[in-house]
Structure 1
Amino acid sequence: MSESAASKSKSTSQPPASAAESAGTESVPATSAGLPPTAQVLFAVINGGNGTVVRSLGVTSAARLAVGMYQVIFSHDVTGSAYVGTIGLPGSDGASPAGEIAVVGRSGVANGVFVQTFNSAGAYADRSFHLAVLS
């Protein structure tokens, strides 16, 4: 399937994680309230064109996997966290193109979040975004 055709169909599955991405997960023990003793808010602002990190807190890496598909890797296990994403320019001026975003834990990578971005018609499209992880 061409990249153009692939960008028009929504997939409900993630590309597989490599062995290197799956390795090195650090586990943080939870308190009796269910929160780790190091509870915090992590964030990333990602350039949609190439998947690079513009600014962040707790991010170890980010990558564009395909048109409109990204992974953001944090410094510790985020599987018990909440993920909040929004389409937005990485800078402080201009207007972001309209679009949609979906965020979910990264399959096979406990420290990761998988992000999909779409244009207003629902086709995969590269969009810059802001991601918050409430951990």
Structure 2
Amino acid sequence: MSETSDAKHTAADEQPTVATDEQPPAVGTEADGVGVAAVPATVAGLPATAQGHFAVVNANGTLARGFGAVSSTRLALGQYQVVFIQNVASSAFTATIGLTGSVGTSPSGEIAVVGRAGVPAGVFVQTWNSSGVPADRAFHLHVSS
């Protein structure tokens, strides 16, 4: 290697490894797909009517309120799992950072949502501060099925 390559290699080796692109493994009853369908599916596999479920989750991971939400859990700093009463794997997810009460000012930040690996009724949520550093943030999540 050249001197320049060695310097780049050494600098890269000193960077801490942070696995922000991986979900922690699913455990417990949520991994078993616990839940019941709120509306029977049609022959095509689609719900007979469109449904909207929501969850309002505190920064510590507890469920403040919701409709169709079974549970919410803080998995790690800025990582949450929200489980609903039915399989949401083919649903659309929308989330925003926001306080769980009706007054106050929410801290700024960023949020991302995706289906929960290993939990068909679950949604995986990640939150960060405005600098992109993982941070616990309260949020509102809507699932359209």
User: Normalized against structure 1, the TM-score is what?
Assistant: 0.86
The residue that corresponds to 1:44 in the other structure is: 55
Higher relative contact order (CA 8 A, sep 6+): 1
Gaps of 5+ in 2: 1-15
1:80 pairs with 2:82? no
Residue 86 of structure 2 corresponds to residue 91 of structure 1: no
Deviation larger for 87-96 or 20-29: 20-29
Aligned residue-pair number:
127
- 1:116 maps to 126
8 Å Cα contact 1:40/1:134 also seen in 2: yes
Percent of aligned pairs with the same amino acid: 54
Alignment partners' CA distance in 2, 1:111 and 1:91: 26
Q: In the alignment, what sits opposite 2:117? A: 107
For structure 1, the 5+ residue unaligned runs are none
3-state SS of 1:35 partner = coil
**Residue type of the alignment partner of 2:143:** V
Larger Rg over CA atoms = 2
Residue-by-residue CA offset, 1:74-131 (whole Å, 9 max, x unaligned) = 0000011000000000011111010000000000000000000000000100000000
- Equivalent in 78, 91, 94 of residue 68 of structure 1: 78
Q: 1:15 aligns with which of 16, 24, 30?
A: 24
Q: 1:59 to 1:82 in 2, by over 3 A?
A: same
Q: CA RMSD in A?
A: 1.9
Paired residue for 2:41?
A: 29
Q: Deviations over 1:32-51 (max 9, x none)?
A: 4x630142100000001x11
CA contact (8 A) 2:35 2:84 kept: no
Give structure 1 regions of 4+ aligned residues with deviation exceeding 2 angstroms: 24-32
| Cα gap change, 1:19 to 1:52, in 2 (>3 Å) | closer
Cα distance 1:31–1:101, how it changes in 2: closer, same or farther (>3 A)? farther
The residue type paired with residue 136 of structure 2 is: D
